[in-house]
Amino acid sequence: MRRFGDSIRIQRDYPYPVSAVWAALTDPEQLAEWLMPNDFRAGVGHRFAFRTRPRPGFDGVVHCEVLTVEAPSLLRYSWRGGPMTEPSIVSWELSATPTGCRVLLRHENLAQNAYSWFVGRTLRLGWADLLRRKLPATVGRRSRAAS
């Protein structure tokens, strides 16, 4: 049985080409603009970290490993930070639409311990805001600069 907080699924459509959104997910500089500073590289097996300001119960570091890269349609990496005892999995699926790009984010394996409800809720709110505001703002800004 699936409980609240086990996984997150968010789908958004953007008026940008798949290649522009893919760049925002895989270029460390663009990724830092909308998500967190990082040492990401799009290579299977690459271990990297996202870094942000520490908070109670969270040292500010999310430890990750690239699991799948199928440019420009699928990116998967593990995600472990704060009270998470096991890595969760973040998946990005991109597909072209008549008006741009559809993005499907899945963040799975969140129900791990007594903190799961809080971690799941925090991540759900964070991802929703990032996909509603920050990711499209970064892609839009970069697309306009390239024109």
pLDDT value at 61 more than 50: yes
Give the residue-averaged pLDDT of 51-63.
93
CA–CA distance, 80 with 103 (Å, rounded to integer) = 22
Report the alpha-carbon distance of residue 58 to residue 121 in Å, rounded: 15
Q: What is the 3-state secondary structure (H, E, C) of the chain?
A: CCCCCCEEEEEEEECCCHHHHHHHHHCHHHHHHHCCCECCCCCCCCEEEEECCCECCECCEEEEEEEEEECCCEEEEEEEECCCCCCEEEEEEEEEECCEEEEEEEEECCCCCCCHHHHHHHHHHHHHHHHHHHHHHHHHHHHHHHC
Distances (CA, A) of 77 to 62, 90, 97, 105: 11, 5, 25, 12
The whole-number pLDDT of residue 4 equals 45
User: Is residue 144 over pLDDT 60?
Assistant: yes
Domains of the chain: 9-146 (3.30.530.20)
pTM for this entry: 0.92
Output the pLDDT for position 110. Answer: 83
Pick the more confident residue, 56 or 102: 102
Mean per-residue pLDDT over the chain, rounded: 92
* Residues 6 or more apart whose Cβ sits within 8 Å of residue 85: 112, 113
